[in-house]
A and B are shown apart, each in its own frame.
Chain A
Amino acid sequence: MRNAFAKDLVDLARIDKSIFLITGDLGFSVLEPFATEFPDRFLNIGIAEQNMTGVAAGLAKEGYTVFTYSIGNFPTLRCMEQIRYDVCYHNLNVKIIAVGAGYAYGPLGVSHHTTEDLGMLRTIPNLTVASPSDPFEVSAITKMFVETNGPCYMRLNKTGESKLHGSVPDLSGNEPLKLCAGTEKLVLGTGAIVQEAIKVAKEKGWELWSFPIVSPMGKKWITDDLLRFKEIISIEEHQLNSGFGSAVLEVINDVYFSRKLTKYPNIRRVGIPNIFLGFSGSQEYLRNKAQLSLLL
């Protein structure tokens, strides 16, 4: 995913001269092509994420489309107030990119587990929150970020993800994208965990939709057609509190309350049960420990 992002950003920056990239001293073997081709629009600002976000706000105030880049919690939780106040309140054109979503950096420890970002960031007004499941979604989101005037956030897994879509999908309306058709159960997923969910869904004959945009979430997908499934399961590599599944419940509830859904569907949420996993482990191992499985 991060390579798709880095390549797309170079392509976009060739056309759009306002694109500026700031890294908090990360991006070795990823960001060099951008840095080499656009040295005047690249800045390694050092290991100082509060400053990175404030400087990005300043550059954006003067017309730049500024991407900030770092690992997981550093360009996000570390500088939440700069994101909330400097970037989002002033509605500035800053795009925050975090690598290492969920347990992508599993063995590195809790400092590098990005498991609260969606919940914390999706509460902030003006901010678009994106969580792609494959490199094609990354490309669609990166392009959308450049075309959208305003603050955006994207969590990237790492590398080596399969392509789940046949081509770069259309993200209009922030609606979910159907990855496989099926019956009985409908799986709603976001992020790289969808790569695992699709295997189970295909095996079981269940339907699966991916949500590249978590916030603001589209609502057109919520119709009585959902009632043909006995169960809806949300899955995310994120704490259950306030995450993707919570967002799904919120919008379904809102639509149900407005009488556009005649019956409340059965919904089960799969996510990290609000715990830290302090031991070492691969992404797969930690996902299992957190019981991130569609199967009961």
Chain B
Amino acid sequence: MYARTSWVQPSVLPGFGLAFGTAFAFVTLIVVIPIAALVLKAGSLPLAELWRIATEPRALASYRLSFGASLLAATLNAGFGLVVAWVLVRYRFPGRRFVDAVIDLPFALPTAVSGIALATVFGPNGWIGQWLAPFGIQVAYTWVGVVVALTLIGLPFVVRSVQPALEEVEASLEEAAESLGAGRWTVFRRVILPTIAPALATGFTLALARAVGEYGSVIFIAGNLPMRTEITPLLIVIKLEQFDYTGAAALGFVMLCMSFTMLLAINAVNAWRTRRHRGRR
């Protein structure tokens, strides 16, 4: 017998070489090369210049809006998306299938269309905007509008992640908690929520990632005032329109780093939780 030194896990499925090669080539072509090009372009700038562009007041304001609004939208989605998923999984009501299908619409709709629709509805004379205006609440063309747009496009991510997890919560777990004297709220908080937490975290992460990169729907409702309602992707487009390719690349690089760090952090927390709960065997 000889010790197997390969890092390839023995598997009943043949064709590891072919599958791995295809996957590697695909990811390289579609993800790694474009990003490398971006990094190279940004890297062509002297470090001080890169720092100057990245920390311009207008750029800083756009980061704050982009990441702040995205976090807020993803948090809202985590809360309400959970409720939507709960209703869809736990109750049988007329029109359930319809609601279930509607959830996916933000996936399919061109983002510009949803942006324009939102701007119309939430505008000062829009269906909803006209009722909010008397209270001094303005949604369209403010940061609130940005959050609304980002919430819309992020909702399906949370619902679709949580739904299967909720469906798989064993009835006996809830029954056990009840037989031990737990009330409904306790059952939810101490038994159901911890069980679906990983799925909820995944949904949150996906919604956040999508929101940070969103462009189409936001620019129609945001008003795009520099320093106030201008998101980073828009700022990049503006720089491109001015043929400031290196400037655009610099901002893109900053976004790349921040997004990557954020996703890595969330995944790390999630992995730690999962490892803690599903057996260090």
The reply to whether chain A is a binding partner of chain B is: no
